[in-house]
Structure 1
Amino acid sequence: MNDNVVKITEGDPRCGTLAEAILELIYERTDGMPFPSVLGVLRIVEHRLFEEQQG
């Protein structure tokens, strides 16, 4: 393992909690959806969050 890599939960434990909550919601709401669609929605959310941070 690379010594320069820091697990995200070591910096802020809320990151792990957030990741688990997102996964739970995905599993709950995407039953039967094609996997590429789920990934596409995540990319849309990522893009929106990025745009909001840019102001």
Structure 2
Amino acid sequence: MDNSVESGKTNAIIAYLTIIGTIIAMVQNSEPKNPFASFHIRQALGLMLFFLRLDTL
């Protein structure tokens, strides 16, 4: 596996836990940007917003 994948796994997992987990992962990924973690943070944020929107319909 790529080194960036290994170093970004924790933030990627945290991002999917809750909206608070997504915010924590964003903060942890702020300085050394990891592309793997950034992808999963964006995906988790999109899923959270999508399900929040479905809940209001």
Structures share fold, TM-score greater than 0.5:
no
- Bin for the TM-score computed over the shorter chain: 0.3 to 0.5
Could you say which structure has the larger radius of gyration? 1
Q: TM-score, normalised by structure 2?
A: 0.42
Q: TM-score, normalised by structure 1?
A: 0.43
The higher relative CO (CA closer than 8 Å, separation ≥ 6) is in 2
